[in-house]
Chain A
Amino acid sequence: MAWNRVAVVGAGLIKMGELFDQSYEQMASGAFEACVASVDKGFEPRQVEAAFLATQRGTLWGQEGIGGNTIPTAIGLTGIPCTRIENACPSGSDAFRVGAMAVASGVHDVVLVIGVEKMRDKSSEEGLLSRAAAGHPIFTRGETAPVLFAPFATRHMAEFGTTREMLASVAVKNHHNGKLDPYAHFQNEVTIDEVLASPAVCHPLHLLDCCPQTDGAAAVLLVSADRAHEFTDRPVFVAGFGVATDHPYLHEKDSFTEIKATPLAAERAYAMAGVGPDRIDCAEVHDCFTITEILDIEDLGFFAKGDGGRASLEGETAIGGRIAVNTSGGLLAKGHPIGATGVAQITECWWQLRGDAADRQVDTRNGYALQHNAGGRGSGVAVVNILTNRRDG
């Protein structure tokens, strides 16, 4: 193998939510401290050689110039190199991949990957909703975030008989899991009837089919595997990763029953890890909307195309089901602080593979966890990272 093996030796996040009382820097610092505290044998912050920051919309919190240089001073490490990675909703996933490559290449031995996002400092109108009119003058206006995914729901329902109840079952499961995760934005259960009766946001998606706008931050520590023993006796390893792109705009797509970048990214990650979807014990996947998770679990190869709705409704993705999906509560319940989301998903995988997931713990008999995000205006990018607790994996 041409790359050096990479270990994850620390991971942490802050409680997700509407964090009006915390600055961007305070959130970053909180996540970094949680990450440092998670290192079994202790960690001296000055050991960080380089950092990669994931923030998707720096302008959302009112500062145009947010970049990698914001982080070192905020976490007391002024002087270290820090680079911002922006790649739409998978920004955190991709920052993790870039950090892993920095270690795998042998350039750095200890790398911090941190994701931070302020979603709520601006009003909804000034934040994501203002994208309704963004872009080239010829492009569709009125395109809020649900418009980027609801056309997939319409088509999936028409082609495969997927029902609103099936969509709702995803929200029900993820809220249930979120209630078991102390870091989740929402700490309440919902019922299928409540999801169905919630206000229409963008037909066929209703309010509880949609993730909230959440502030949050998460951080993980990557080290060269041959030095992992300095930090922990229970390391988790990077088994593989893949990134893929698709057309950036919806009208350029020829299919609305799959997110084409996802199977392509997954194929690359599975090949690198030397495993297939049947070996994955649990997965944190991109569920910005209920339909997205149904697409994901098909596109990642866990279920046949068109079968994701049925599988969700019948509990096959619940903790204890055929494959546990979004044990953290997912974006729907834990929240979607965009740049932090992927890093927080990695944190959940890390806990699961170390047996630290408490009431959410999955039987990791194969020793593999998968993390996935998709995004961009028309789901033009997807990232898949695969982690393992197997020293030979």
Chain B
Amino acid sequence: MTVGVLAVGAAAPSMRVAAGDIAAAWDRKSGRGTAAICAADEDTLTLAWSAVDGALRSAGIDAANVDGIWWGTTRPPYAEGPSLAVLATAVGVGGHARGSLHAGSPHAGIDALLGAADAVAAGTVRLAIVVVSDALRPGPGSAFEARCGAGAAAIILGPPAGAPASLGLRVTRMEPYLDRYRGDDEVETRDLYDGRLFREEIFLPLVQDVAGALRSVEPRSWSLPDPDGRLGAVLAKRVGGGAAASASVYAALGDTGAASALLGAVGAFDAAGSVAIVGYGGGRATGVLVHVEAPVPGAARVADVLDGSEARPASYATVLRARGQLVPAGETVPMGVPPESAMFVRGAHEMLQLLGGRCVDCGTISTPPSIHPHCIACGGPKLEPVALAREGTVYTYVINHTMPAPFEAPLPIAVIDLDDGARVMLQVADDGTNVAIGARMRLVLRRYAHERGVPVYGFKAKPVKES
């Protein structure tokens, strides 16, 4: 049974570093393009949420109707922990959804796509979210550091009938070689092999093998891996399809790891024709064909996501701080409620799903429900849980300039009247220039903090750009 492609989405973090700045720090001359970097409140999970949010909204799909979620990321935010469950809950997928988390190499993105496709083809899942994301953390000074970026893509798979695109031929090859490597006790990825050895004996033979198998259909567009900023062009020449569609993605965001294969392709789903996707990582290369019959919802918006005109430029020092590779001496004061607190168990759903309690008697929404057994307006005891609206208007706000680490100033905080009438007070993901009484805001998932080493996620407000 073929599998339909219903919608796509993409996400990029809020900072960009010029590759040349990183190269210069290590007295190297080379360094073209930019790489996307996560701010302190972004990571692979928040990027994944954002890509899924975009895909669902493009197609008008309610997450509650999705019954499976597959996530591929080289490095999930909890090395062992509830990575997929946290993402699924924040996305709004029901608690009975199927799916799996693929990790451990950049090939994880392709694994997630194929895992979801098999479940849809088998009929065990009707609507599946495939999301691929990464925020790479290379060792400082490593040869590939300047090309390491961050980004995410999402694809909604479902029944083929009426779908604008479908999955086709796939081919995989693997060899038990090391390439990029990170041991269980290491936090930074490193290169093991000599560059020429990797290129001639590992990368090109594997990737060319699977790409060759896709050439017979003469794809309109290619997404090809480019782990070092040069191999992608070499591959494109050998495959013979002209510049790959993925080249502009790599130039803007850098290598996005497990996200790169799909992120390099989804923008090309905006017109009819075949798109060949080749992913590589961990000694494995896989090629997949996607046959596009009509523009896929969300595909035309991928270019806007990649456009970095609203992104903040970051210096190399900022990049190192954001990646936790430049840390101040001395102990930091622990902030917030320890994540082992029962409060995080009681609060998990209301925080990640953004819940309120609507008064059966007067209709007022009190939030969060766990501290509101009674209505804030009439005092009534009958409240029913509701998902809060995701957009609203600023009623009043401040811009905080004086906070201890890990908070970073300036931090706007706004009281926002959501469109369903609920009032919330949230941090704003902005430097304050777009915050004013009456400004429109949309709620987005962000990483609030590392509480004693554990990532904690919740919603922030983001100014809605007038279009």
List residues of chain A with CB under 8 Å of any chain B CB. Answer: 123-126, 129-130, 132-144, 146-147, 150-152, 154-155, 158, 199-205, 247, 249-254, 256
Taking a contact as CB atoms under 8 Å apart, the answer to whether B396 and A136 are in contact is no
The answer to the question of B344 belonging to the interface, with a C-beta cut-off of 8 Å to chain A, is yes
Does the CB pair A140–B413 fall under 8 Å? yes
Contact for A143 among B376, B413, B458, CB less than 8 A: B413
Q: Does B46 contact A (CB under 8 A)?
A: no
The proximity string for B residues 26-62 relative to A, scoring 1 for CB distances below 8 Å and 0 otherwise, is 0000000000000000000000000000000000000
The answer to whether A136 and B427 have CB atoms under 8 Å apart is no
A391 to chain B, nearest CB (A): 43
Given contacts A136-B371, A252-B423, contact A146 B402 (CB under 8 A): yes
**Known contacts A133-B335, A150-B398, A203-B399; A142 and B413 CB within 8 A of each other:** yes
| A202, B395: Cβ atoms closer than 8 Å | no
Is B449 touching A133 in the complex (CB atoms < 8 A)?
yes
Interface centre among B395, B398, B427, B432, by most chain A C-beta atoms within 10 angstroms, is: B398
The complex places the Cα of A150 from the Cα of B396 at a distance, in Å, of 9
- Inter-chain contact A202/B407, CB cutoff 8 Å: no
| C-alpha spacing A201/B398, complex, angstroms | 10
Q: Are B335 and A252 in contact (CB under 8 A)?
A: no
Partner of B400, one of A126, A136, A137, A142: A142
Interface centre among A143, A250, A251, by most chain B C-beta atoms within 10 angstroms, is A251
B397: interface (CB < 8 Å): yes
Chain A proximity of B105: nearest CB distance (Å): 33
B396 touches A155 (CB 8 A): yes
B341-393: which residues lie under 8 A (CB-CB) from chain A? 343-344, 347-348, 350-351, 366-368, 370-371, 376
B453 interfacial by beta-carbon distance below 8 Å: no
Question: A212–B458 Cα gap in the complex (Å)?
Answer: 32
Additional A-B contacts beyond A140-B426, A141-B449, A203-B398 (20; CB < 8 A)? A125-B405, A129-B402, A132-B404, A133-B336, A133-B407, A134-B336, A134-B337, A135-B337, A136-B347, A136-B371, A138-B367, A142-B411, A146-B402, A150-B398, A200-B399, A202-B402, A203-B400, A251-B367, A251-B423, A251-B424
A216 to B170, CA, bound (A): 75
> Does residue B437 face the partner (Cβ distance < 8 Å to A)?
yes
The reply to whether A256 and B395 form a contact with Cβ atoms under 8 Å apart is yes
10 sampled A-B residue pairs with Cβ under 8 A: A133-B335, A136-B337, A136-B371, A141-B336, A141-B448, A142-B400, A154-B396, A200-B399, A201-B401, A202-B401
Closest 9 CB pairs of A and B: A133-B336, A133-B335, A203-B399, A150-B398, A251-B425, A155-B396, A137-B347, A125-B404, A151-B396
Beta-carbon contacts under 8 Å, B411-467 to A = 411, 413, 415, 423-427, 432, 437, 448-449, 451, 456, 458
Residues of chain B whose beta carbon lies under 8 Å from any beta carbon of chain A: 333, 335-337, 343-344, 347-348, 350-351, 366-368, 370-371, 376, 395-405, 407, 410-411, 413, 415, 423-427, 432, 437, 448-449, 451, 456, 458
Q: Which residue of B lies closest to A150 (CB)?
A: B398
From known contacts A126-B333, A250-B415, infer whether A136 and B401 are also in contact, taking CB-CB under 8 Å.
no
In Å, the complex CA distance between A251 and B366 comes to 9
Write out the residue numbers on chain A whose beta carbons fall within 8 Å of the beta carbon of B456.
137
Interfacial chain B residues near A132, Cβ < 8 Å? 335, 403-404, 407
* A205 CA to B398 CA, complexed, in Å: 9
Determine how close the nearest CB of chain A comes to the CB of B378; give it in whole angstroms: 13
Complex Cα gap A247–B350 (Å)? 20
Q: CB-CB < 8 A to B404: which residues of A?
A: 124-125, 129-130, 132
A241–B90 Cα gap in the complex (Å)? 48
Task: Give every chain B residue within 8 A of A136 (Cβ-Cβ).
Answer: 337, 343, 347, 368, 370-371
Residues of A within 8 A of B344 (CB): 137
The one of A124, A135, A154, A251 in contact with B397, judged by C-beta atoms closer than 8 angstroms, is A154
When A136-B368, A138-B367, A141-B407 are in contact, do A146 and B395 touch as well, CB less than 8 Å?
no
